[in-house]
Structure 1
Amino acid sequence: MIRSVSGEIGRWRLIAWLLTGVVLVPVGVILSAWITPEWAAWRHLLDTVLPTLIRNTGILIVGVIAWVWLLGVGLAWLTALCDFPGRRFFDWALILPLAMPAYVLAFTWLGLLDYGGPLQLGLARRFGANGYWFPDIRSPGMVVFFFALSLYPYVYMLARAAFAGQGRRMLEAARILGRTPWGAFWHAALPMARPAIAAGCALAAMEALADFGAVSVFGFQTFTTAIYKAWYGMFNLPAATQLASLLLLFVLAALTVERRMRGRARYFASDGHAPTARERIVLTGMAGWLATGVATLVFGLAFAVPMTQLAIWALGRIGQDLDARYWSLLGHTLLLGGGAALLASLAALILGLIRKRHPEDRPIRLAVRLASSGYALPGSVLAVGVMLALIAIGKALGTTGGTNGALGAGVGALLLAYLARFLAVAMGPVESGLERIRPAILEAAQGLGSDLWEQIRRIHLPLLRPGLLTAILLVLIEVMKEMPATLMLRPFGWDTLAVRIHEMTAEGEWERAALPAVTLVLIGVWPVILLVRKTARR
């Protein structure tokens, strides 16, 4: 009996670690570049682009964290614990920028504000070409600001939930102890929400590190653009590997800093309910309208204005762009997204069931945790890692002609990269659904003679249907928006909506990029609406 249980755990461990290998193998291949470094490639990088890449990456990360902290925490505080004109609308509307990819927001504002855009053309007609001043839209500060407009909802959602859970009684206790309203916020509410805020800032930083589309639109050199140029422009796989390894180190360092900042602390407190209308701090007069103005400005800049401009561009060209090519792009996007969503959801279901069946087994818990870490890896890093792994396997089996043969790996390599990056996205809804299945139900089924597969078919799958559908939807949306991995690994002729946006924006054709961009935003709105409804019910 003991041998039987031990053998069963061993089989489950093997399956869990095989699935985890989808994440670990690309990372291991990339990190292996440090075992036998190519010093010639390193010297070339150091003499040419490396200092610029490190500086720009540092500016981007520090600036994005500062801006998303300011916008996310400030707006979360206003909507969670204050009452002002329009609060009920902004409470959910400020989450909508999550549906707009950063590269879509970037090219829309660039098209509006750049030298040849309608705003500057109007100023030139009014004041003359040299009669007005306008900030450089491609400066590092503007790049960071537009990134923050796209990424602040990560901090906003988590901080808003933390502040709402605290309620007003904690603040009143701080006031009784002699704190001013600002002091109560700074010394009581903010420290208790620190884990949520740190997690939101870490997510925003990871997205900024992984981005390729927005930085390429602004011509802002980062590691992702350099990896793409080394791979796609110079066909220099060793240089792309070295750059990917450095970017991976940036990601690992950021994750380490975030975990150290949070430590094991748990600061959440709850009154048992979100604050009611009576319990909120009522902002009247100038304070109330100032809060409304700030929320309106952020919502307008992050969603309303760019979405309106995209709709105008798309409607202006719908006759020319709504053609067979568009439907082909949409079909490829849905096929890749659907395939990756099914794979990721199946892998998440298997890992979730293994963890549910053996919750105390440390190797299994470690495997599940590592499998869930792939979302922090940039798509460009995974693309290089997956391709190098396939090259090594092909050479070992003697089935490839080297790099050129491996570059045709196509859909399989792309699905592996998607699975590694978005498995964590599917794990959340699946594990949440598994937690709702009471152990007593499974024990009763086992007592009636039901084996594992019958329990999965008759208990797990019916009860997990909402969670699995949510996982499939979330992964589908994430894959549809993914740009760097798709650009680097897609087979010839398999362009997607994201690839089309990149091609058009690279040529400055903002209007022709509008229809695929509107399609991505409208599809991406659905999971955001589901998220808003779920949050409202809670």
Structure 2
Amino acid sequence: MTDLAQDIVGAPKAPTALRPHQRVGWLAWTALVLSLVLLSPLAAVVAAAFGEGHGTWAHLATTVLPTYVENTILLVVAVTIGVFVTGTGTAWLVTMCRFPGKRLLEWGLVLPFAAPAYVIAYAYTDFLQHPGPVQTWLRAVTGWGPNDYWFPEIRSLEGAAAMFILVLYPYVYLLARSAFLQQSSCTLEVARTLGRGSWTCFFKVALPMARPAIAVGVSLALMETLADFGTVAHFGVQTFTTGIYRAWFSMGDRVAAAQLALSLVGVVLIILLAERWQRGGRAFDTGRRFDALPEYRLKGARAWLATAACALPILLGFVLPLIILGRLSWLNAHALFGERYIRLIMNSFTLAGAGALATIAIGVVLAYAARSRPGVTTTAANRLVSLGYALPGSIIAVGLLIPLTTFDNALDGWMRSTFGISTGLLLTGTIAALVFAYMVRFMAVALNTLEASLGKITPSIDAAARTLGAGPGRTLVRVHLPLISGGVLTAALIVFVDILKELPATLIMRPFNFDTLAIQAYRLASDERLAEASTPSMVIMAVGLIPVILLSRQITKSRPGAGGS
């Protein structure tokens, strides 16, 4: 795998080849303290889950909790199958086969990554619902009435699963393709000389070697599925995430919300443990990258079938939703850069920019601590921080709101009784609290990218800096940061776009009357104003294209001869 693709998504990395220090320095302890602070929301959820609630949990357990569990399991199973088949199949085709349009399709298959699931859910709802263009055309052509035919219901669990598959299969595609590109050409050539066909080579040789990478991709897709709120809420599918939001805001029971959040954490941990158990001690095969991989030249119907198989996910996951949203925005004359949307864009970019800067700043400290002071302390700190990526935004929001509201209420009560002054909510519902939630959620993305960049710097550079009398801080500022500026910018860009698309934490924790593009799209879609929701949704997709294209280019360069037409 390429360093960029491998480390962004949390795949195993080789340890930095620096000589371990005998003592744990201040930098290592700083990293450990920062990691514990970033894990405080999870600790707050665990503590609150054992508190005394309003009896909501007992009511949920006998009414909707079985539905939450059933829907969550069904979504996990459907998304697992869908992203595995789509991601692995397309990755194998564009890596090992030659067919018309391959060069265009190999990077186009990453485009759905730019679209959040809730955005394409809005597009397909307008497109496929009863008054939408598809069913309207069907009734006009056939002359059928509303009750004369059956049409699949888009607002269903099956519809939600389809949305997740369309936008999350790139996780598997990116990792599977990187793994296929790095596999030994000798192994594949031996299989071919033994008379094995392309299907046998795929199932018996390539797929087993790429299985660790594929498992990581599937687990990431599942964690994103569990973290989603906008799609399942729009489609009316009751899951743990919607239950957390309902328990907190509709029922006013933070203990029940924490108990649901803790249950969801348990599901996430099961997925992570299953992925680790499946991977075992196997690492990613790195093969001989200087050898060109053998290609299967497809001809006739098989070639065009491969083209169609790779084009279909792009059309359904990116092109068609973009056309639908563009049509809605055009027909309803919504100015993309009107005063209202300029304010929304500024709010979104302010949060994303502040979150990205804060996340990168802390990430640089953590990554550099692991490099300059390798050992148990720094390793534990970075692994603890990486758990944040497995936590849905709703859990992080609950974990932050519980201690923040407790502190604000206690301070307000003390100020009232002592000085007769009400302080109100000083921390709850502030941009600072929301930025901290973003740091917890996306630190792993930044940290892994930064560690990959630092890993490319030879240890001799650190030794030379030490012999010249430079301490860790000066070495970082004067030597390492200039050398890893590209990796820092890449990490910042990815975190920026992730924050721009994030919905659950932003919806729960945003300051009063401080809306973003994601919040605006969700609100309008919730009010069935799908045409108006198209404009902020298009902006989110457009901004998300930048890191997607960058990532695809990096993977294409990972092996000589890859990306041919």
TM range (shorter): over 0.9
2:102 corresponds in structure 1 to: 87
Residue identity matched to 1:150: V
In structure 2, runs of 5+ residues without a counterpart are 1-20, 417-421, 559-565
Is the partner of 2:354 in helix, strand or coil? helix
> After the TM superposition, which residues 305-324 of structure 1 pair with which residues of structure 2 at under 5 Å, given as runs?
305-319=320-334, 322-324=337-339
> After the TM superposition, which residues 408-423 of structure 1 pair with which residues of structure 2 at under 5 Å, given as runs?
408-423=428-443
Query: Is 1:46 equivalent to 2:61 in the alignment?
Result: yes
Looking at structure 2, the residues matched to 37 and 258 of structure 1 have their Cα atoms a distance apart, in angstroms, of: 35
Residue 408 (structure 1) shift: 3.7
Cα distance per residue 1:474-528 (max 9 Å; x no partner): 1111111000000000010110000001001101111111111111111110011
Residue 223 (structure 1) shift: 1.0
Looking at structure 1, the residues matched to 300 and 334 of structure 2 have their Cα atoms a distance apart, in angstroms, of: 49
- The TM-score normalised by the length of structure 1 is 0.93
Residue 265 (structure 1) shift: 1.3
Residue 410 (structure 1) shift: 1.7
- The TM-score normalised by the length of structure 2 is 0.89
Query: Is 1:535 equivalent to 2:555 in the alignment?
Result: yes
After superposition, the Cα gap between the structure-2 partners of 1:405 and 1:449, relative to the gap in structure 1 and judged at 3 Å, is closer
After superposition, the Cα gap between the structure-2 partners of 1:506 and 1:409, relative to the gap in structure 1 and judged at 3 Å, is closer
1:386 corresponds in structure 2 to: 400
Residue 430 (structure 1) shift: 1.4
In structure 1, runs of 5+ residues without a counterpart are none
Query: Is 1:236 equivalent to 2:253 in the alignment?
Result: yes
1:67 corresponds in structure 2 to: 82
- Residue range with higher mean Cα deviation, 8-17 or 303-312: 8-17
Residue 388 (structure 1) shift: 1.3
CA contact (8 A) 2:334 2:532 kept: no
> After the TM superposition, which residues 88-487 of structure 1 pair with which residues of structure 2 at under 5 Å, given as runs?
88-127=103-142, 128-129=144-145, 130-166=147-183, 168-177=185-194, 179-266=196-283, 268-273=285-290, 275=292, 279-319=294-334, 322-359=337-374, 361-394=375-408, 405=425, 408-487=428-507
After superposition, the Cα gap between the structure-2 partners of 1:309 and 1:275, relative to the gap in structure 1 and judged at 3 Å, is farther
Cα distance per residue 1:174-208 (max 9 Å; x no partner): 24446443232212111100001000000100000
- Residue range with higher mean Cα deviation, 445-454 or 396-405: 396-405
Residue 272 (structure 1) shift: 2.1
Aligned residues: 530
After superposition, the Cα gap between the structure-2 partners of 1:397 and 1:519, relative to the gap in structure 1 and judged at 3 Å, is same
Looking at structure 1, the residues matched to 470 and 177 of structure 2 have their Cα atoms a distance apart, in angstroms, of: 44
Looking at structure 2, the residues matched to 522 and 22 of structure 1 have their Cα atoms a distance apart, in angstroms, of: 34
Greater relative contact order structure (CA < 8 Å, 6+ sep):
2
Looking at structure 2, the residues matched to 111 and 255 of structure 1 have their Cα atoms a distance apart, in angstroms, of: 36
Cα distance per residue 1:101-151 (max 9 Å; x no partner): 111111101110111111111112222223433112223222212210110
Is the partner of 2:238 in helix, strand or coil? coil
Query: Is 1:17 equivalent to 2:37 in the alignment?
Result: no
Residue identity matched to 1:272: R
Looking at structure 2, the residues matched to 322 and 178 of structure 1 have their Cα atoms a distance apart, in angstroms, of: 60
Is the partner of 2:91 in helix, strand or coil? helix
Looking at structure 1, the residues matched to 205 and 377 of structure 2 have their Cα atoms a distance apart, in angstroms, of: 39
Looking at structure 1, the residues matched to 220 and 358 of structure 2 have their Cα atoms a distance apart, in angstroms, of: 24
Residue 308 (structure 1) shift: 1.3
- Residue range with higher mean Cα deviation, 390-399 or 53-62: 390-399
Is the partner of 1:193 in helix, strand or coil? helix
CA contact (8 A) 1:12 1:354 kept: yes
After superposition, the Cα gap between the structure-2 partners of 1:493 and 1:443, relative to the gap in structure 1 and judged at 3 Å, is same
CA contact (8 A) 2:359 2:442 kept: yes
Cα distance per residue 1:237-261 (max 9 Å; x no partner): 2221111111111111111111111
Residue 407 (structure 1) shift: 7.9
Which of 72, 86, 90 is matched with 1:57 structurally?
Answer: 72
Residue 353 (structure 1) shift: 1.2
CA contact (8 A) 1:480 1:520 kept: yes
CA contact (8 A) 2:53 2:254 kept: no
CA contact (8 A) 2:429 2:512 kept: no
Residue 153 (structure 1) shift: 0.5
CA contact (8 A) 1:345 1:471 kept: yes
CA contact (8 A) 1:332 1:495 kept: yes
- Residue range with higher mean Cα deviation, 434-443 or 493-502: 434-443
CA contact (8 A) 2:445 2:491 kept: yes
After superposition, the Cα gap between the structure-2 partners of 1:408 and 1:441, relative to the gap in structure 1 and judged at 3 Å, is closer
Residue identity matched to 1:240: A
Residue 165 (structure 1) shift: 1.8
Greater fraction helix: 1
Residue identity matched to 1:91: E
Is the partner of 2:55 in helix, strand or coil? helix
- Percent of aligned pairs with the same amino acid: 40
Looking at structure 2, the residues matched to 219 and 404 of structure 1 have their Cα atoms a distance apart, in angstroms, of: 35
After superposition, the Cα gap between the structure-2 partners of 1:142 and 1:453, relative to the gap in structure 1 and judged at 3 Å, is closer
Residue 429 (structure 1) shift: 2.3
Residue identity matched to 2:502: E
> After the TM superposition, which residues 26-45 of structure 1 pair with which residues of structure 2 at under 5 Å, given as runs?
26-36=41-51, 38=53, 40-45=55-60
After superposition, the Cα gap between the structure-2 partners of 1:320 and 1:245, relative to the gap in structure 1 and judged at 3 Å, is same
Is the partner of 2:151 in helix, strand or coil? coil
After superposition, the Cα gap between the structure-2 partners of 1:320 and 1:286, relative to the gap in structure 1 and judged at 3 Å, is closer
Looking at structure 1, the residues matched to 111 and 234 of structure 2 have their Cα atoms a distance apart, in angstroms, of: 22
Looking at structure 2, the residues matched to 411 and 305 of structure 1 have their Cα atoms a distance apart, in angstroms, of: 35
Residue 167 (structure 1) shift: 5.2
Looking at structure 2, the residues matched to 320 and 105 of structure 1 have their Cα atoms a distance apart, in angstroms, of: 20
After superposition, the Cα gap between the structure-2 partners of 1:171 and 1:454, relative to the gap in structure 1 and judged at 3 Å, is closer
